[in-house]
Structure formats: C-alpha cells, structure tokens
Amino acid sequence: MIDFTLVKVVSLLVYPLSLSLLLGVVALVFSRLQWTRSSFYTLLLSFGWLYLCSTSLFANFLSGTLEREYTPRAISAIAPADAIVLLGGAMRGDTHMGTLADLNQHADRLVYAVALFKAGKAPVIVLTGGGVDGSRTEAEQMKDILEVMGVPGQHILLERDSRNTHDNAVYSAQLLKAEGVNRILLVTSAYHMRRSLALFEAQGLDVVPAPTDYQRLVTPQLLPAWLPNVSNLYQSTDALHEIVGYWVYRWRGWL
C-alpha cells in the first residue's frame, strides 16, 4: 500500500498542472534568493508548459502519437473470443448521494465492452480494478453500471485486487486461466492500448486489441486551437501519464 501511494504521489510530477505549480514554487524561491533571471525563466517555463498542455494543438498531437497504431474497426469485423477484458480507469467512484458510481471522461470503455458483449463477441466480461481500503472496488462499481446497461450478472467476472495496469494483466490472467480462457478481447482507451496489450501478451494470453475512447475530435472545436481549455489539459495529462508510464514499465522489466 505504501509503495502504491508513493508511486501515485511521485506520478503527480508528470501532470502539467502539478509540474507547473512546482515550477512556480521554485521560481518563488529563486526570487527570495534574489536570483532574478532564474526566477523569471522558471516562471516563464511554468506558465508556458501549462499553456501549451491546455491547447488542442498539443493535446491532439500527444494523443495522436499513442492512438495511431490502434485504428478502430467495425464490431462486425472483430472475431469472437473467449472473454472480454475491460480495464478500469473509467470511474470517478461512489458519490455521497448517487445510487451508482460516477463515471469519468473514459466511460466509452464501458459502452464499447457492452456493445461487444451484445454483439455476441464473447460470453463473459472480466472487469478489472481494485480500490483503496474501506471503499468498493472499481470492478464492483463497473458491475453495477454494466447490469444497468443490460449485461446479466452471471456473465460478469470480477478482478478486485489490481492497483495498476501491470496488476490488471497479472491478476486477470490468473482468473482467466482458472476458467480455461485464453483468447480475449482487450477493451481500453486507444491511447492506453500499447502498454496494456504488451502486458497481457506477456501473461501468455492470445490478445485481440479492442480500442475505444479516441480523444481527437472530428468536428472543429468552438475555440481556436491555440486557446487554452481545461478539457485539453485533461487530454494532455492522460497522454503524458501514458507516455511516461510506458517507459517506466519498460525500465521495471514488465514490458
């Protein structure tokens, strides 16, 4: 648990908002030390990086580098498998007054997994995702949503112990092999597929990528591409997290 929390805290440095705030603090320290030039350039870097990551030009560029290898296919063109594995990451969590857990901007994952199931592409959906102590797991939260969307509970398997994508692959593979399952449709966001696919294949599974949740919009945005927007900041943050995560996983020998 301590290792997991430490990783999450350190990973904040990858996020544009956190890094920009940190640079702002460094600039303030430089200013107090009367290092005027260093303070100015650090503050300029802080605001410049936050601005750049908040533009659709940069956000779409980052997403494009991750999504381009995993183009979408019509569901009718996808061959059947033994199971659909739906990775977590689409839930904000239980809310104080809600009857269902709240979804986040990656809820396309749930919709696509249900669409594959209803198209008869696999007889069972494996939901992956643990939780912090004292709360319901993400897998349990997703199960509620999928049942509302018409997936019978007896066709859902839960993997409740994972804390990251590596755990998703390891624990899901154990569950699947116990059920005699080898060929899976792997559902996650297109920008997350490169790392996820490699991890599940490393577990000896026959994996068919089923990417969804593409981030780049077809229709033009109302604002010019050079103007900052909070949704672009979300998009850049996810993409940067994934790029850094991929290389960290390689460094750890998981890929």
Task: Write out the two tokens for 11.
Answer: 């990973």
**Mean pLDDT across the stretch 227-239?**
94
Task: Point out which residues pair with 184 in neighbouring strands.
Answer: 83, 207
**Domains along the chain with CATH numbers:** 9-67+229-251 (no CATH), 76-212 (3.40.50.620)
Mean pLDDT of 64-75: 94
Confidence grade of residue 2 (pLDDT, cut at 50, 70, 90)? very low
Task: Give the sheet arrangement for strand 183-189, strand by strand.
Answer: 156-159, 125-128, 83-86, 183-189, 206-212
202-220 per-position pLDDT tens digit = 999 999 999 999 999 888 7
**pLDDT score, position 224:** 85
Task: Determine contact, residues 128/159, Cβ cutoff 8 Å.
Answer: yes
**Largest CA-CA distance found in the chain, in angstroms, rounded:** 67
The answer to whether 110 touches 148, Cβ cutoff 8 Å, is no
Distances (CA, A) of 251 to 48, 192, 238: 29, 18, 20
Strands 206-212 and 125-128: unpaired
pLDDT-derived band of residue 97, with 50, 70 and 90 as boundaries?
A: confident
